[in-house]
Copies of this chain bind each other. A is one copy, B any other.
Amino acid sequence: LNLILFEAAELAADGLLRLVDARAAHIVKVLRVVEGDTVRIGLIDGPRGVATVRRASSSGPKSEFDVELDCVLEPMTPAPPRVDLLLAVPRPKVLRRLWAQFAALGVSRVILTNAERVERPYFDTHFLDERVYRPLLIEGLQQAKDTRVPRVSIHRRFKPLIEDELAGSSDAATRIVADPAGTRSVGTVVRERAACAANDRVLVAIGPEGGWNEFELDLLEAHGFQKAGMGVRTLRTDTACVAILALIHDALRSGD
């Protein structure tokens, strides 16, 4: 953990944060703090900060950890990442692996959708249950030292999502769809747009393992999604997601 995250309700009025769970174990066993040491902390969806260890102990036969931290938060909350993701629901195993990586790479919104080539049982997985994916998102944030939890929505119907609901879900001015037939690279498309609009945000659509069908691709294009390619190699959904998010963030940074 590069940043210890906590919920607002965990913080006492005097800035004291008491931890007795896996975070306390990490602070004692991995960071090996002593009284007076400092650790980096963050309020979920709020500012980062620094905490001074008031007390850290492990005791009992089951090694129970107990840590008290005096927290000082920065005045500003980090800005949300400038990328939103529209993703056809992948296989549960792949989805499981992706949650922490989305949060680590930086995604403001994860908009999960049905598509022709999404298999129906994919919607039944518990990895679409917030109680399951939220801890995975927070794990990714703690890795990347961010506090902003991606907002997630799940849509079982593609057409109404694209035609009616998408504008309410993402305010990104640049929309791109990853497509093997896209002759222009992801970076080129994003840099062109970012050059004319500082603080532009990007919404990227990534299809199912077999790709979007023709109807879906046409509908996306009709709603402003520009095709962008990533070379001739066909990538698995999880590899493609990480690759494309890295390319977009890199292009947004270089456009600033």
Chain A residues near B (Cβ < 8 Å): 2, 97, 100-101, 104-106, 143-146, 185-188, 230-236, 239, 242-247, 249-250, 253-254
Contacts and interface: CB of A to CB of B under 8 A. Distances in A.
Contacts of A235: 104-105, 143-144
A185 B239 contact: no
Most chain B CB atoms below 10 A, which of A185, A230, A242, A253: A242
Contact of A231 (B231, B232, B247, B253): B253
Given A231-B249, A246-B246, A104 B236 contact: yes
A247 B253 CA distance: 13
- For the complex of A and B, list the 8 residue pairs with the smallest distance between their C-beta atoms, beginning with the closest: A243-B246, A144-B233, A242-B242, A101-B239, A2-B234, A246-B246, A187-B250, A104-B235
Residues of A contacting B: mostly: helix
A181 to B, nearest CB: 15
B246 A242 contact: yes
Given A234-B144, A243-B105, A185 B2 contact: no
Contacts of A230: 246, 250
How many copies of this chain?
2
A63 to B, nearest CB: 21
B233 A105 contact: yes
B185 A250 contact: yes
Given A146-B233, A185-B254, A239-B242, 6 more contacts: A104-B239, A105-B235, A106-B233, A143-B234, A143-B236, A247-B250
Contacts of A106: 233
A176 to B, nearest CB: 14
Contacts of A145: 232-234
A31 to B, nearest CB: 12
Nearest to A249: B231
Contacts of A100: 236
A226 to B, nearest CB: 16
Contacts of A250: 185-187, 230-231, 247
